[in-house]
Amino acid sequence: MSYQIAIDGPAGAGKSTIAKGLAKKLNFIYVDTGAMYRAIALYMIRKGIHAKDSAAVEGACQEVEVEITYQSGEQQVMLNGENVTGLIRTEEVGNMTSAISVYPMVRKKLLDLQRTLAAKADVIMDGRDIGTCVLPQADLKIYLTASVEARAERRYKELLEKGQEPVLAEIAKDIEERDYRDMHREISPLKQAEDAVFFDSSNMGIDEVMEAILKIKADKQLCR
């Protein structure tokens, strides 16, 4: 059996940085499930589909094939054979992703792929529903969050570094809207699994959170 670590939490809490760092330290594969949803959202944007048009979203979903490959240990997302890894990190794609990930068909499409990846090797997977739905038997579950202010501030700095001209209040508003949608959708909403360990990274550094998770993992294994 592979060892499975599930990390869930809202956007901008540091999940992917922490999961990537842990995967490197532990020699696990890292699976970023948000990227899979983002690839489907990109397809919808390209097709000019409106997120509220459920029939169009479900129809387009049948035309989409998402695959995951690894290049030098980095996850690559393939959309109908095209590597879209570099195209899915925009605010537009992020907002569309949150809006289309409420549909059962979209979620069903990715669930098998996520479980298959987790069965293949020791894995650290991040998303919104990993501990509650995708890998309910995960060996270690983490729920990582941070205040809206801290997350907006981090995103603001990232966008500044990319040469963009972000507006902090708009970023905070987007984050709040996404949190609300991700936490209140009918299927697999974002919530802390009962057996997940809670972290608030508002005032914690990345290394501090990683060290704490590694300690929990080591302690758990002692008790097995």
Chain residues that interact with ligand DC, rule: CB under 6 A: 11, 33-34, 37-38, 94, 97-98, 101, 127-129, 178, 182
123 and 54 Cβ atoms separated by less than 8 Å: no
Q: How far is the CB of 182 from ligand DC (least distance, A)?
A: 5
Q: Which residues contact 5 (CB under 8 A, 6 or more apart)?
A: 19, 22, 28, 123, 124, 125, 138, 139, 140, 141, 142, 213, 217
d(CA 122, CA 4): 6
Q: How far is the CB of 195 from ligand DC (least distance, A)?
A: 18
Q: How far is the CB of 38 from ligand DC (least distance, A)?
A: 6
Q: How far is the CB of 205 from ligand DC (least distance, A)?
A: 20
Q: How far is the CB of 34 from ligand DC (least distance, A)?
A: 2
Size of the chain in residues: 224
Q: How far is the CB of 128 from ligand DC (least distance, A)?
A: 4
Nearest to 46 by CA among 101, 84, 102: 84
Which one, 4 or 98, has the nearer CB to ligand DC? 98
d(CA 82, CA 69): 11
Which one, 38 or 141, has the nearer CB to ligand DC? 38
CA-derived radius of gyration, the chain: 17
Which one, 28 or 224, has the nearer CB to ligand DC? 28
Q: Which run of H or of E encompasses 59? A: helix 54-61
Q: Which residues contact 13 (CB under 8 A, 6 or more apart)?
A: 144, 145, 146, 151, 201
Which one, 74 or 220, has the nearer CB to ligand DC? 74
Which one, 128 or 141, has the nearer CB to ligand DC? 128
Crossing angle of helices 33-47 and 54-61, in 10° steps, is 110
Which one, 41 or 210, has the nearer CB to ligand DC? 41
